[in-house]
Copies of this chain bind each other. A is one copy, B any other.
Amino acid sequence: MSTASDTAYDKIRRHLLAGKVQPGERLTEEHLADVAGVSRTPVREAVQRLERELLLMRTPSNRIVVPDWGEDEIDEMFTLRQMLEGHAAERAATRLSDAQIDELERINAELHEAVAPDNEQRQADVARFLDANRRFHEAVTQAAHSPRLVQILAMLVEQPVVLHTAREYSVQDLKQSARDHDELVAAFRARDPHWARAVMGSHLRRAFHVFADAMSALKRDPK
């Protein structure tokens, strides 16, 4: 995070994901420059990045707005992830080294730890869970050795972090996710592309429902 562009990207992204702005709200570059503490030039670059991740959009007259995601858009997002990460897993299965698979296992151990029953602070756990989860999926994507795939998936993995602090997830759901990852590792060890793709597919489809349910719960009762 050395350059001002990156700072801007990071700060604005946090600002958005923290839910400081309502969907549909209009933002000015200058305002965002204040938020990020840099001039408009790097802000414009950051906004472009956020646009391509669809965290921001432009009105017909090039004003910056926060898009609101409907259930359909979220469904579509997970469907695309299912296809693309399934493909990534398939490729990764024949390209991962033993050491890399070990690394995946290590990351997933963190996931299990984060949802272990003897752990008290649910809040911190979810954050850690989500972080490890992201790293796991990134590692798989990287292992597919496809620059395009990396670039495309980067624009799909963003999630409103409203849900990152969430008590909305059931421990059971999180545990199931960790078990999915276990099976994925097993598929990798077996170097079985089709198994890997299938596991990744069902994993993400379940994740969609967990996410969608949490989201609608939040909308019903927005504490």
How many copies are assembled? 2
- A156 CB within 8 Å of chain B: yes
Q: Cβ of A87: which chain B residues have Cβ within 8 Å of it?
A: 79-80, 83
Q: How far is the CA of A165 from the CA of B80 in the complex (A)?
A: 34
Specify the chain B residue showing the minimal Cβ separation from A87. Answer: B83
- A146 CB within 8 Å of chain B: yes
Q: How far is the CA of A44 from the CA of B3 in the complex (A)?
A: 15
- A219 CB within 8 Å of chain B: no
Contact of A83 among B45, B73, B83, B146 (CB under 8 A): B83
Specify the chain B residue showing the minimal Cβ separation from A152. Answer: B152
Query: Contacts A83-B83, A84-B83; is A156 near B151 (CB within 8 Å)?
Result: no
Establish whether residues B148 and A80, one from each chain, have CB atoms under 8 Å apart when the complex forms: yes
- A52 CB within 8 Å of chain B: yes
Establish whether residues A149 and B80, one from each chain, have CB atoms under 8 Å apart when the complex forms: yes
Specify the chain B residue showing the minimal Cβ separation from A41. Answer: B41
Q: How far is the CA of A181 from the CA of B187 in the complex (A)?
A: 38
Q: Cβ of A148: which chain B residues have Cβ within 8 Å of it?
A: 54, 73, 76-77, 80, 155-156
Establish whether residues A147 and B80, one from each chain, have CB atoms under 8 Å apart when the complex forms: no
Binary per-residue interface labels of chain A (129-163) against chain B in the complex, 1 for a CB within 8 Å, 0 otherwise: 00000000000000000111101100110000000
- A48 CB within 8 Å of chain B: yes
Query: Contacts A52-B52, A80-B87, A83-B87; is A155 near B151 (CB within 8 Å)?
Result: yes
Specify the chain B residue showing the minimal Cβ separation from A44. Answer: B45
**Nearest CB in chain B: distance from A3 CB, A:** 9
Selected A-B contacts with CB under 8 Å, 23 pairs: A41-B41, A44-B45, A48-B48, A52-B52, A52-B151, A54-B147, A54-B148, A54-B151, A73-B147, A73-B148, A76-B146, A76-B148, A76-B149, A77-B148, A80-B84, A80-B87, A80-B148, A80-B149, A80-B152, A83-B83, A148-B156, A151-B155, A152-B155
